[in-house]
Amino acid sequence: MVARRSRTVKEISDGAPAEPVSAPGLGVELDGIRRRFGDTLAVADVDLRIEPGSRVGIVGPSGCGKSTLLSIICGLDEPDAGHLSVLGATDAPGRLARCAWMPQQDLLLPWRSVLANARISLENQGHSREEASRRVWPLLERFGLAEFAGHRPATLSGGMRQRVSFLRTLAAGKPVLLLDEPFGALDAITRADLQGWLRSALATEPRTVLLVTHDVEEALLLCDRVAVMSSRPGQIVATFDVPILDEPGTDTPGTDGPGNDGPGTDGPGVRGTTRLAAATRTSGSVRRARLADPRFIALRDAVLASLEQAREPELPEHEESRARSGATIPEPVR
C-alpha cells in the first residue's frame, strides 16, 4: 500500500495527473448500502455507480445521510448491510487509501503557511518537509497559489482558504475525491467564482469525484450526473445526466489576493490581478451562458421537483388515505 501511495504522489511532483491505484475500468459502486445508528436508520438500500474519472453530485434534504455515505465510501465507517467497492477495494483500509475528503470547513492549521498546509498529507505519508514541498510546488504554481506560499491562513480570504484546502486534498494523490459541501460556508459571489475555478482544476487534474451539496445549480454546473436522495432514511430516488452545454477547457484557474473574496486590487495579490480578471470574465460568461440555457433550466427544474418530492415523508397507506380525505392525522404519542 505504501509503494502505491508513493508512486501516485510522485506523479504529482512530475506535473502529471495521478493514476488510479486499481484495475482499469473500476469506479465506485454501492449496492444496497444500509447504515443504522441506534434506533435511527440513516441510509437504506442505497445503490450508486460512479464511473472512473466522472463527477457525480448528490443533493438531498438535511440529515438524509449524504455525509454518512461519504464516511462509508472512504472507509471511516462500515455499512450494516450491502456491498461497496472503491476502484476495486472493498476493505476499509483499501477504500481509505483511494479516497481524499474535503470537508465544508477548510480546517487549515493557523500556525502553518499555505505551503506547509498544502504539503501536510505528504508529510503524513512519511515524506520529509523538503521532499513534500518539492512535490506540492507544481500544484501551487499551476493553481495560482505559489506567490502566497508563505502566507498564514489568517491573511487569506475565504475563497483563497478553500483553494488551499482543495489543493491539500488533491496533493494527497488519491484518485477519488469526496467533496462535502466545500463551498457551503462562502458568500454567493465567492462561491460562483470558486465553482468555475474548481471546474478548471478538475479538468487539469482529473479525478473520480463525489460532490455533496445543497445547491442544485452547483451540482449541475460541476458534475456529469446528479443523484437525488430522499429524507431519512436516505435513498437514491432519482438520477439525472447533465448534458455538455459548452466547449471544454474554457475555464482557467485564477487567484485572488489575501483578505479579498474577489480580484485583488492592492497588496500581495496585485501580481495575479490581470490573470484573475481574464479568468473571472471567462468563467463568469460560461456560467451565465449555462444558467440561461433552456436545457439547463429544464434540467434544474426537474431536479428541484424531484428534490421537493423527496423531502415529503412517506405516510403509511392508512394515513395517506386519511390525508386525502381531509381527516386530521393525530400526532404520535411521545
Q: Where are the domains of the chain?
A: 2-315
CATH of domain 2-315: 3.40.50.300
Average pLDDT over every residue of 217-224: 91
Q: What is the pLDDT of residues 157-184, one digit of tens each?
A: 888 888 898 889 888 889 999 999 888 7
Categorize the per-residue pLDDT at 5 as very low, low, confident or very high, splitting at 50, 70 and 90: very low
Instruction: Please give the mean pLDDT across all residues of the chain.
Output: 77
Strand 225-229 and strand 55-59: the pairing is parallel
Q: What is the pLDDT of residues 70-86, one digit of tens each?
A: 999 999 999 999 999 99
What pLDDT is stored for residue 36 in this prediction? 92
Does pLDDT of 249 surpass 90?
no
Answer whether 0.85 is exceeded by the pTM. no
Q: What is the pLDDT of residues 11-66, one digit of tens each?
A: 333 443 334 344 455 789 999 999 999 999 999 999 999 999 999 999 988 888 88
Contacts of 183 (CB under 8 A, 6+ apart): 162, 190, 191, 194, 195, 213, 215, 218
What pLDDT is stored for residue 283 in this prediction? 63
